[in-house]
Amino acid sequence: MKFIVSSTYLLKQLQVLGGVINNSNTLPILDNFLFDLNQDKLTVSASDLETTISTVLKVDSDNEGTIAVPARLLLDTLKTFPEQPLTFVVENNNTVEISSNHGKYALAYADGAEFPKAVELVNPSSTTVMGDILATAIDKTIFAAGNDDLRPVMSGVFFQFSTENLTFVATDAHKLVKYQRTDVTASQLAEFIMPKKPLNLLKGILAGSESDVNIEYNDSNAKFSFENTELICRLIDGKYPNYEAVIPKENPNKLSISRAQFLSSVRRVAIFSNKTTHQIRLKIAGAELNISAEDIDYSNKAEERLTCSYQGDDMQIGFNSRFLTEMLNNLNSEEISLEMSLPNRAGILTPADGLDEGENITMLVMPVMLNS
């Protein structure tokens, strides 16, 4: 088996696929890329058993064959080449020889038949979404997903498709983000929980992409197909918590303020907060927002005053500054609004501008109890 391919083109594709390979695999074969050559089409796959990603490359060849090539070794080699054609030739002594303009390199390969086969989806439902919309939805939600192994359903992003909209939700019980698109719909109702790792891969590949992504899914797996690439992953099993129930509906106290100004104040004041609770206090009266923090153990304290637009009763509420900073960082609006009802009920953060037509973002942050 022999084929010729551009070095930079191959590297670019393999770097995307390499993201799925774990540093320590239980099966040694998973440390490899699977090369499956069929005439001028080379299908390269990588897998960690839970997620398999494969892409089809155009190469110069009229051979067929399947081999598994050591991923790390091949990537490290390709990174050092300037743009040039590389010739891959599979020798009889279980090595694949790569010839460049200046040299030859031999890698031991494994039998391609040992590589685990990707799951075939039986009777899947499907939906089509533009790549960039999907990447944005992942980007806006994934940071809020939890890391708790005891509650696996909360360690992923909940996809909720309906004939009216697509909704993406992530929460770790302290913060919650709901991202909704009313300009994209599905043909039928569907709900599934996607793990973080394949979502991070998709986010990286699809950012800015205008090509359509076809999403197929059943109860246990989902498959994302776009351009020459396919990603298949196992879904998180379990029922997602009823997130609508925790979003407070009546929030009479509404604060509007410049996002950048609020964010830099929170960041500054948070430096003086307690290192375990990261607690900051918001005190709102009239058109003034007072942000303060105190670390009693070290006698550190800080306080800042900002002007804001506020409708509602004077109130004091405490938040974890890390969660607040993360959320404000993840919005790109000029102005934000923070809606609250009581100091012990969640605050709702929404962007006041900067959204596309049909795009909605609701962020919910749980308060922390203030020690008066």
Q: What is the pLDDT of residues 89-142, one digit of tens each?
A: 998 889 999 999 999 999 999 999 999 999 999 989 999 999 999 999 999 999
Residue 3 pLDDT greater than 90, yes or no? yes
Q: With CA atoms as reference, report the closest residue to 248 among 340, 349, 360.
A: 340
Record the tokens describing residue 49, joined without a space. 């058993």
What are the residue ranges spanned by the domains of the chain? 2-114, 125-245, 249-368
Would you tell me the crossing angle of helices 7-18 and 196-206 to the nearest 10 degrees? Answer: 150
Q: What is the pLDDT of residues 196-207, one digit of tens each?
A: 999 999 999 999
Cβ atoms 275, 295 nearer than 8 A:
yes
Beta-carbon count within 10 A of 146 CB: 19
Would you tell me the crossing angle of helices 259-270 and 321-329 to the nearest 10 degrees? Answer: 150
| C-alpha to C-alpha distance for 266 and 260, rounded to whole angstroms | 10
Query: Which CATH architecture best describes the domain 249-368?
Result: Roll (3.10)
Task: Determine phi and psi for 356, rounding to 5 degrees.
Answer: -75, 165
Could you give the C-alpha distances from 110 to 25, 34, 106, 280, in angstroms and in order?
15, 9, 13, 56
* 158 pLDDT tier (thresholds 50, 70, 90): very high
pLDDT over 90 percentage in the chain: 96
Residue 361 pLDDT greater than 90, yes or no? yes
Q: With CA atoms as reference, report the closest residue to 330 among 159, 177, 167, 133.
A: 177
pTM: 0.93
| C-alpha to C-alpha distance for 93 and 108, rounded to whole angstroms | 9
Cβ atoms 368, 273 nearer than 8 A:
no
Task: Determine which helix (DSSP H) or strand (DSSP E) holds 322, and give its type and residue range.
Answer: helix 321-329
CATH fold of 125-245: DNA Polymerase III; Chain A, domain 2 (3.10.150)
Query: Is 249-368 in the same CATH topology as 2-114?
Result: yes
**Strand order across the beta sheet in which 156-161 lies:** 190-195, 156-161, 166-171, 175-181, 359-365, 347-351, 335-340, 253-258, 309-311
CATH superfamily of 2-114: DNA Polymerase III, subunit A, domain 2 (3.10.150.10)
User: At a CB cut-off of 8 Å and minimum separation 6, what does 94 contact?
Assistant: 108, 109
Mean pLDDT, residues 152-161 taken together: 96
Cβ atoms 130, 208 nearer than 8 A:
no
Longest dimension (CA), the chain: 81
Q: What is the pLDDT of residues 179-232, one digit of tens each?
A: 999 999 998 899 999 999 999 999 999 999 999 999 999 999 999 999 999 999
Cβ atoms 254, 209 nearer than 8 A:
no
DSSP secondary structure string, 145-193?
Answer: S---TT-GGGGEEEEEE-SS-EEEEEE-SSEEEEEEESS---SS-EEEE
Cβ atoms 346, 364 nearer than 8 A:
yes
